[in-house]
Amino acid sequence: MNILRALSSLRALLLASLLSIPAASLPKRGSFDWNKINHVIAFGDSYTYVQGTAGLQNFSFIGDYLPGDFAYTPETLISNKIVQNFTGTAEGGPNWIEYLTGCGVNPGLTSPLTCKRQLWDFAFAGADVAEEFTPLHHPYTIPLVNQTQQFLTYGNAALKKKTCVNPLKTLIAIWIGINDINDSAKYAVPSFQAFYASILDRVFSSSVAPLLDAGYRNFLFVNLPPLDKTPGNLPKAPAARSPNATMIGWWNDALAERAERLDGLEGVTAMVYHANAFLNGVLDDPARYGLKNTTGFCAGYLQADVLTDPGKYGCPVPVSEYFWFNSGHMTSHVHEVMAPDMERFLLSRSG
């Protein structure tokens, strides 16, 4: 199968291949080499968001969904810088995508242009996949399908021209679903399993397919973390948790199925990093990772000095020794210990 012919009517092809064609019958996957990746372009929610000097404070690297804020110029994007401080991510410090790329980890401002592996992060804190499934958290929240639309409309050509982005040496990273599964749990959904499948169909048809159209061939998806073990969920019986492990499994299984079929397309590499498995392992053996508290979080997490004086807020250990930074986010330290495992996974898929 020639990849150009295969992608000429990509949306129809993707839906057909992802939903009906056995993975074993598809052509062999593409060639991927993590060591040759020099650009990472990321999309998602607060687990992936990084603050930018041209972004909405506490929410984005660049722009927002309000009229006049969605579009940006090439000059604005290229001059934008990653902000690394207490509020530069949702974790009180660098997150997984910064640790994985080594870009934006140091305190202060970092231009992606100065990084050996450039990070261009279009994730928006609070994002779900699309408005048709769950409402926006705020009028300015950019859903995933609109993040990719925004990038392809305003950012793609700028990066190719100004930073020599080569789609074949670029990794598209997508971590989404945390808000979708939490938000939808509040509603009477006849079948969560079918609902999650529909949401993920939208991810692949409206975000992945256009990126493939634009020439990108390397995709990293991250599955859902153990949201059934957040501090608010732990006191409940396992089946009564929202979401529970079964619900998380439905989402993760649906993601794996679609990524496997995408991975079968000629010239395409689609990988799923099993964050759920790794993070459950951390929770099972926290001392191995320098953690002492896996059930709660420090009450002063909103205060910048909680990092240097946790005792002021009644916290007996440093924030870095907690698994949870707050009720729904992991600490920067957990992101830090996960990033090397992610890199080992990427190297295992290289060759």
Cβ contact 145:207 at 8 Å: yes
This prediction's pTM? 0.93
Cα–Cα distance between 123 and 158 in angstroms, integer?
Answer: 18
The β-bridge relationship of strands 54-55 and 51-52 is: unpaired
Please report the pLDDT score of residue 14 as a whole number.
Answer: 53
Please report the pLDDT score of residue 100 as a whole number.
Answer: 98
Q: What is the pLDDT of residues 38-95, one digit of tens each?
A: 999 999 999 999 999 999 999 999 999 999 999 999 999 999 999 999 999 999 999 9
User: Smallest Cα–Cα separation from 138: which of 121, 149, 126?
Assistant: 126
Among the residues of the chain, which ranges form H helices? 3-6, 10-20, 74-79, 96-101, 144-150, 156-162, 178-184, 192-203, 209-213, 245-263, 275-284, 332-348
CATH of span 3-348: 3.40.50.1110
Please report the pLDDT score of residue 351 as a whole number.
Answer: 79
Please report the pLDDT score of residue 22 as a whole number.
Answer: 44
Residue spans of the chain under pLDDT 70: 1-29
Cα–Cα distance between 340 and 334 in angstroms, integer?
Answer: 11
Burial of 239 (0-12, 13-18, 19+ CB in 10 A): exposed
